[in-house]
Structure 1
């Protein structure tokens, strides 16, 4: 496998630094000239938009205990608010990439942000838990446009050093705003209630007009495999339903099992029948792509698990949501710092070794956070919350390193003509990990306790290490 520096020098390969959870456009064609010198403003605005989309999960997480109380559902059931959002974010991320090939970036981004805004408003006004879940599905499906198309804007508009700096700014701003979501959400909840927290992402709609001139309106005419996308969504949903079923009963478990058992072979048959469809056969059969995406998926699993788990542990112990958010502020500061060392590490050590470091950090993070949750449940005091805060800080580092390392590893493993598709598929797997992480806390945590759920999730990064150890 060639070095990361070699990969990043080729036309169309991803930059060293990418924002957490973003699908990566294959980049401008060889010989493209650098775009207008507005990269700082455009990248900062895109980072803000990306961060507001991320608040759809990070700020909503602190409201989970209150949603549970208001609607009379168990805490495990209430975490569906996060799990379904993360699932739709994962599955529709790659869909937006294909749609942008058809019609360019401008209208899909406007459509996605409008859908995100509509979903957020419906969530804020939902009179029942069932309607809240529907609103969150809509919100997640819309928010997926932002990570996918935001990076595509920078890759298509800039090149060389300008593009690398722009992607770095987007990453830092997006991660920091997302990490500040629990604090902002807690403060707003304290003053206005949890419904106002659910409406926070509507602010993203105000950013789009300012970016309008920077968005491409030209497409290449590529075809969209809607059936393939639907089959992937159904199969992934089955996995999430099955994982979270301990908190929701046998009907959910059976539904998840049926979707997973039937969806897997049908999806596999679709890939064989349509080798250039939503899941291209050349990508699915690429061992390096599969290993990198599978291993990296354990990192968002840890991140989303802590988003749900931290409020679930601390709020019942008398913590206000804004206090939970304050505990996570150091993670927001760290988010700004991670891009400074992530890029050089990937370049000097290679993407595979960087992924190993990321998954190892995620393992330690989950064990530290699990220990903290156990101490809080057993005796209270300050040590447990401090350990939880350290766990979140470590997961922030793992996230900021793992996503760009995965992108680099995948980009290095495929031919240029399928690089964009391969990165989209890898990002889909990456984000499905997030929905599974929150589902484990909601399902297993409701039965065994959040501490044990976090400890069990520490096994996922270990599995990622084992996957990365395989060659060929």
Structure 2
């Protein structure tokens, strides 16, 4: 690697004058709008159903396609930051965000909307990978301060997402579905902090990229079949299993290929991935179901956004306390507690769908997601080799949003009893983190 990196700076190295906190806020502003692709879009789903004349189970594609697209963008963008640096990845991500926005804005059918959302999601995933890799690449002494600012910024976006979705829906349901494009506004501020291009770029394992994309797509189709079972489910499962096995074998034979070497054989990574996927599965279940339940009870889109806002703010405050607690106790214990808290909320909502219960469950979901993102980023950063860090964080994001896609699909089929199992599994995995 030394022959390739001598001519360029490490991620985040351009922030010397800003200080760690300033860099954390900038990267957080780049990452944050990706949250709107889930939370804000979920609030807009009832209005989207009216305009597209589609049922709720069909509309789950808007969330699941975005979730898996984010995962594909994150794992690809994360690995490319290892190979090429953050600058070209950031510019490519901005172009994808713009293309996805134009597609969604001109859509009149669900199929076109989903295509636009996939483009948006891949762009969002790449920006998320850039932001996480750059923040994680700061010197160890400065990283905690930057991560704290990054987490606070992310929590702020999470807190405002439901209301932002409601406001945008008043303008147009299409606007509400394209809010992740706001990440482009942070590109000028983050651009000076990106890596310079190396003189000799390393080649990209195109076959590895294709296999990861195919495996993630297969998992998306399997998740979607939870809401709309079909005879093709078994065929899809077999194909996905074959592709995944091929990918694992290729990673073993090509340790310097697309997947970071040693990651798939590391138990700590699988525990972290299961924790993140379980928590986000519960989060997506909440974000899909709560707006639909409240809309059926007669609440408007704005009412839903306002109702969820206080819970989101409470979640932000609780999450910050939990992150501070993790400095004194093992982070796995904190993650296990917030995962079980989310599972309990889903269980309560299964039997009592009063507005305050749904709001409380949303609070648990926002809290668990914020804590999980911050603690697992620090956890993975401490264990991944610097030259593989972007790829490992990208794989973690892929697992995170695949779990989210599964949660949304399960919620569309059986809200929310079955979805409560996902954060329970996440809690079990978190208890194994060391």
TM range (shorter): 0.7 to 0.9
Partner residue, 2:410: 440
Task: Tell me the CA shift for residue 328 of structure 1.
Answer: 1.4
**Structure 2 contact 339–427 (Cα < 8 Å) conserved:** yes
Partner residue, 2:264: 284
Superposition RMSD on alpha carbons, in Å? 2.8
Listed as ranges, the matches of 1:353-372 within 5 Å are 353-372=333-352
Partner residue, 2:368: 398
Partner residue, 1:244: 224
**Structure 1 contact 241–255 (Cα < 8 Å) conserved:** no
Listed as ranges, the matches of 1:41-440 within 5 Å are 41-156=22-137, 158-159=138-139, 162-190=142-170, 192-219=171-198, 221-250=201-230, 253-254=233-234, 256-280=236-260, 282-338=262-318, 340-373=320-353, 384-413=354-383, 418-440=388-410
Q: Is 1:459 paired with 2:421?
A: yes
**Structure 1 contact 296–355 (Cα < 8 Å) conserved:** no
**Structure 1 contact 372–386 (Cα < 8 Å) conserved:** no
Partner residue, 2:5: none
**Structure 1 contact 98–223 (Cα < 8 Å) conserved:** no
CA distance in 2, matches of 1:238, 1:278: 19
Q: TM-score, normalised by structure 2?
A: 0.88
SS of residue in 2 equivalent to 1:284: coil
Task: Tell me the CA shift for residue 177 of structure 1.
Answer: 1.4
Residues 211-239 of structure 1 show CA distances to partners (whole Å, capped at 9, x for unaligned) of 33222223484443232232223223222
CA distance in 1, matches of 2:169, 2:136: 37
Gaps of 5+ in 2: 1-9
Distance of aligned partners of 1:348 and 1:204 in 2 relative to their CA distance in 1, 3 Å threshold? same
CA distance in 2, matches of 1:246, 1:327: 29
Task: Tell me the CA shift for residue 91 of structure 1.
Answer: 2.1
CA distance in 1, matches of 2:29, 2:302: 21
Q: TM-score, normalised by structure 1?
A: 0.81
CA distance in 1, matches of 2:305, 2:76: 33
**Structure 1 contact 39–162 (Cα < 8 Å) conserved:** yes
**Structure 1 contact 331–393 (Cα < 8 Å) conserved:** yes
CA distance in 1, matches of 2:351, 2:145: 38
Gaps of 5+ in 1: 1-26, 374-383
Residues 83-109 of structure 1 show CA distances to partners (whole Å, capped at 9, x for unaligned) of 000101012202112222333222311
**Structure 1 contact 94–425 (Cα < 8 Å) conserved:** yes
Task: Tell me the CA shift for residue 468 of structure 1.
Answer: 4.7
Q: After alignment, is 323-332 or 363-372 more displaced? A: 363-372
Task: Tell me the CA shift for residue 437 of structure 1.
Answer: 1.2
Task: Tell me the CA shift for residue 469 of structure 1.
Answer: 5.2
CA distance in 1, matches of 2:84, 2:385: 24
SS of residue in 2 equivalent to 1:278: coil
**Structure 2 contact 311–363 (Cα < 8 Å) conserved:** yes
Residues 379-402 of structure 1 show CA distances to partners (whole Å, capped at 9, x for unaligned) of xxxxx1100110111122211222
CA distance in 2, matches of 1:210, 1:280: 29
CA distance in 1, matches of 2:193, 2:433: 42
CA distance in 1, matches of 2:75, 2:403: 15
CA distance in 1, matches of 2:214, 2:124: 19
SS of residue in 2 equivalent to 1:349: coil
SS of residue in 1 equivalent to 2:328: helix
